[in-house]
Chain A
């Protein structure tokens, strides 16, 4: 996994609430291989018309926001399906941080597994941030994970909270499986205890 420390990048505002993962990446692309080519699938049906031409009114198609690295979204961004492809297409496009008042739980988890930093800030602060980005298209924000701050276009910094466990893994770019394999003895102990207390959970099943 890619580590995350500090990022200064062009930011794009997306005002729609409840943007579901079907909208982030439509289901018909889910069998496609993961890789740089899947950048095109990001917000596909919002970005492109059925004939493949760009929709000029979609924010990412406006010249000032093209190639953004930070997405400033509205409430409940990433709700719906568990598809991790939603994170992969954001990443393929070059987005490394999503700032929102709230995120769909599974999407939120999936961000952490891929080195994409989810930043939660109060609703009013995010709305204000989106307004500033509309007023001054093309400005950059700085997201600093060690300091847990987002620096606004005006220079003010907002502090965000993040779980310490997730923060350390992100900073180190550490793969969780490697971490967990270090707990093998504990897992085996747990299994032995469970097998005697609840033998029905691992009985040999009739198939």
Chain B
């Protein structure tokens, strides 16, 4: 047997059947559902089918629920969708964290928090940021609505095998540089389509020393480089995180699982279709300036000039992005005034993210409207127990209920036309945070600094 990658091992152990042409029927161990899955549940019901494995299916409400204090959903269409998710979950026997349940939150935050996400599993969800769960050494990827119905009915998916890419981040991140900066720098390097058709395995010293929250931030944005999934080999950090979580195996099963999980990592000598290396020590706090996550630069850099690009398509793209963002070529990124700050989303709404942001904010005042939206009700409670809500409130931030909120604005929480947002989310697409809204992506520390400075600024000058 040639040396295998972790991805190949997990893939191989989930093949149920092979079809001609290289497609396989892949078994799904974990299926996560949010409000978007309501359509698929309705199709299942209309076809008179039962959910095949409700015990492997888990649902929560995050995209459409309002995050204002006490509020739920005022829009009747949205309210009906959330009610439908609750009803289907009850009827089909799905574990559901709904309104009023403190465990409710963003699906990619709640899955790991509950120990639902485990090493070695295949995990899918009708959401592209499902790549987050790969931080545990799972093969986790987003699927469309028709595929969601397929999983519900059969607990399988027809898949062609993606290629394998390894991204090695060696060295040690310097002061003020975080997991978010690593992934933004990587996407800027390889491009928004740079990993299309690939599963990325993140390796190297800088990844190994990351906490689970940081690994999740990195894996989360794999999709922004076009990757099907991102993964990190499970290790003691992973096991320590999972042990004792409500849905993680326990007792005898835990010991057997551990034994198995230790066999998952990529074997020495295994060959990847592509290798990319980043020097972690070279990275600086990074922010996006345009309308694709690949448009990212160190905060110390200057905005690009379309004239610097020989390729006409690229030139036109840069020019269009600058014009949408209301920016002039050659301007320093440091100092661009912002109108609003959003700290949240499945990329950066975990307890560690909030702690880091609070440290920067402590004893200062936000110069612009700023929101903190915790990733789950449990994170919110823990943050409150640590007094983080007070730090934020005293600095003039809004401390909100958990949900996706202004990451996508499906619940109506959007920025206004032309507003410039310093955001810890994952997409700076045109209109992502509201029609005409301008998004700059960055780490929680950088977003917190932007709030107290009222402009993009280098957090290293604010005590990191």
Contacts and interface: CB of A to CB of B under 8 A. Distances in A.
B64 A23 contact: no
B219 to A, nearest CB: 16
A184 to B, nearest CB: 8
B19 interface: yes
Contact of A84 (B146, B158, B431): B146
Interface string B114-145: 00001011000011100000000000001111
Contact of B22 (A17, A18, A165): A165
Interface of A: 15-18, 20, 22-23, 26-28, 30-31, 34, 45, 50, 74-76, 79-84, 87, 102-106, 109-110, 113-114, 127, 163-166, 176-177, 180-181, 183, 186-187, 190-191, 194, 198-207
B60 to A, nearest CB: 13
Interface in B293-322: 294, 313-314, 316-317, 320
B16 A82 contact: no
A87, A105, A191: most-surrounded residue (chain B CB, <10 A): A105
A108 to B, nearest CB: 9
A110 B77 CA distance: 25
A106 B144 contact: yes
Interface of B: 16-17, 19-23, 25, 27, 29, 36, 39, 47, 55-56, 64, 77-78, 81, 95, 118, 120-121, 126-128, 142-147, 149-150, 153-156, 158, 160, 162, 192-193, 196-197, 223-224, 226, 228, 246-247, 249, 253-254, 256-257, 260, 292, 294, 313-314, 316-317, 320, 408-410, 414, 417, 427, 429-432, 435-436
B431 A102 contact: no
Contact of A200 (B246, B256, B427): B256
Contact of A23 (B27, B144, B414, B430): B430
Nearest to A180: B154
Given A80-B427, A113-B147, A176-B150, A31 B432 contact: no
Chain A to chain B: the 3 pairs with minimum beta-carbon distance, closest first:
A76-B193, A164-B21, A200-B249
Contacts of B292: 18, 20
Contact of A109 (B121, B144, B155): B144
A81, A82, A191, A201: most-surrounded residue (chain B CB, <10 A): A82
14 contacts: A22-B427, A45-B430, A74-B313, A82-B127, A82-B144, A109-B143, A110-B145, A163-B21, A165-B19, A198-B260, A199-B253, A199-B256, A200-B249, A200-B257
